[in-house]
A and B are shown apart, each in its own frame.
Chain A
Amino acid sequence: MASGVKPRVKVPKTAAAGSAVTLKTLISHKMESGRRKDKQGNVIPRSIIHRFTCEFNGAMVLDVAMEPAISTNPYFEFEATVPEAGDFKFTWYDDDGSVYDTSKSIKIA
């Protein structure tokens, strides 16, 4: 299992109903591409986050397939419209089968 993996998200605490908010997410992960070799010439096995999703109250906001060329600590910044108060749920899927998730609530101001 990849070590030092920690998801981070930044979601505003409040938003006006129907407005778009900016969400920032980052997961610390080494994103080993599977194309590098170690000192002995052996291929270092691929170990990346291959999928990232964001859901709002169960509805899919963003579903991203990620490939080996993506750098260490993948960062996504995107906008989402907030129709009502609720929870954003962010999920990252690791090659090794681990699933990391975190949630943030947002209120209507």
Chain B
Amino acid sequence: MNKLTSTNTLVALALAGGVVFGGAALADVDGVLTINGELEIVTKTTPPAHLADNLDEIVSGWVYRAAETQELQMDDFDNPGMLFVDIAQDDWGTVEGTEGKSCATCHDNVEDSMAGVRAVYPKWNDEAEEVRTLAMQINSCRTERMGAEPLKITKGKMARMEALISVQSRGMPMNVAIDGPVQAMWEQGKEMYYTRTGQLELSCANCHEDSYGLHIRSDFLSQGQTNGFPVYRLKNAKLTTAHGRFKGCVRDTRAETYKPGSAAFNALELYVASRGNGLSVEGPSVRN
């Protein structure tokens, strides 16, 4: 108990003195993420071409977490996000809506039909002539093909369905297209990323590009990559979607946030996803 107290005092002193520990206090910056002892995850790699002037390396948020949090993601038995994947597996085969269909009616086996899907979303949809996030695509299936109610963008049912779909692409490199018909929306997302907002006048880039690896209070800033979404967060013991996280971030700049599922957040999701092109899909990942 004495030891604990003295450690806390030290941390408090360091914070009061404005000392930033940099890499020294990071749990395991050189750790390698292997899931279930067999699936190797790329957590650090060279940035995509559009980021080459801004970053030397793109890094998964996993790297910035404490050792015990990192370990939770190394084994599916320990990863609490997988409990939600299990529930979504049941949802996959559940008939809903007026058409008498379930996900499985059209897409059959999720392991085969959804492999690789998470890695390329958000993605242009030719028929609808719009960029679709994974959430939009899920809801389009529900409303147009199943005749069911759309799922709420940041709620548990949507998050776990995204987790089920993500897990089929785990280990595959993020590969979101940024040219052609999606370019205008990508530019809009980029603009948002670098625009300071809120009373604190912070842009996404101020924290996640200029200051990653440094302390934000007692935590470490990550690069804000989305390859691990949906994430199981220890702080609220449930899955969080990318839009839910965006909302939290924007709120923390003391700005009015955009609505999850809004065009603005869809554009931001596309841009942020493209910043992670090359990192492995990790969802559902474990973060604090």
> Is A4 an interface residue when CB atoms closer than 8 A count as contact?
yes
How many A-B pairs fall under 8 Å by CB?
13
Asked if B77 and A24 sit within 8 Å, CB to CB, the answer is yes
Interface residues on B, range: under 10
Choice from A4, A8, A28 contacting B77 with Cβ under 8 Å: A8
Choice from A10, A24, A73 contacting B83 with Cβ under 8 Å: A73
> Is A46 an interface residue when CB atoms closer than 8 A count as contact?
no
Residues of B within 8 A of A72 (CB): 237
Asked if A26 and B86 sit within 8 Å, CB to CB, the answer is no
Asked if A10 and B77 sit within 8 Å, CB to CB, the answer is yes
Q: How far is the CA of A30 from the CA of B42 in the complex (A)?
A: 35
Choice from A6, A10, A24 contacting B86 with Cβ under 8 Å: A6
What DSSP secondary structure best describes chain A's contact surface?
strand
Residues of A within 8 A of B87 (CB): 4
- CB proximity of B157 to chain A, nearest CB, Å: 13
- CB proximity of B278 to chain A, nearest CB, Å: 32
Q: Which residue of B lies closest to A71 (CB)?
A: B237
**A interface with B by C-beta (< 8 Å):** 4, 6, 8, 10, 24, 26, 28, 72-73
Residues of B within 8 A of A6 (CB): 86
- CB proximity of B220 to chain A, nearest CB, Å: 26
Q: How far is the CA of A73 from the CA of B87 in the complex (A)?
A: 13
Q: Which residue of A lies closest to B83 (CB)?
A: A28
Q: A26-B77, A28-B83, A72-B237 are in contact. List 10 more A-B contacts (CB 8 A).
A: A4-B87, A6-B86, A8-B77, A10-B77, A24-B77, A24-B78, A26-B83, A28-B86, A73-B80, A73-B83
Q: Which residue of A lies closest to B87 (CB)?
A: A4
Q: How far is the CA of A72 from the CA of B83 in the complex (A)?
A: 12
Q: Which residue of A lies closest to B77 (CB)?
A: A10
- CB proximity of B108 to chain A, nearest CB, Å: 23
Q: How far is the CA of A26 from the CA of B80 in the complex (A)?
A: 10
Q: Which residue of A lies closest to B78 (CB)?
A: A24
Q: Which residue of A lies closest to B237 (CB)?
A: A72
The 0/1 profile, CB within 8 Å of A marked 1, for residues 230-247 of chain B is 000000010000000000
Residues of A within 8 A of B77 (CB): 8, 10, 24, 26
Residues of B within 8 A of A24 (CB): 77-78
- CB proximity of A76 to chain B, nearest CB, Å: 12
- CB proximity of B75 to chain A, nearest CB, Å: 8
Q: How far is the CA of A6 from the CA of B78 in the complex (A)?
A: 15
Residues of A within 8 A of B237 (CB): 72
Residues of B within 8 A of A10 (CB): 77
Q: How far is the CA of A8 from the CA of B83 in the complex (A)?
A: 10
- CB proximity of A15 to chain B, nearest CB, Å: 17
Residues of B within 8 A of A73 (CB): 80, 83
Q: How far is the CA of A65 from the CA of B20 in the complex (A)?
A: 46
- CB proximity of A1 to chain B, nearest CB, Å: 16
The 0/1 profile, CB within 8 Å of A marked 1, for residues 85-107 of chain B is 01100000000000000000000
- CB proximity of A99 to chain B, nearest CB, Å: 21
Q: How far is the CA of A13 from the CA of B77 in the complex (A)?
A: 15
Kindly list the 5 A-B residue pairs having the minimum CB-CB distance in the complex, ordered from nearest.
Answer: A10-B77, A24-B77, A28-B83, A73-B83, A4-B87
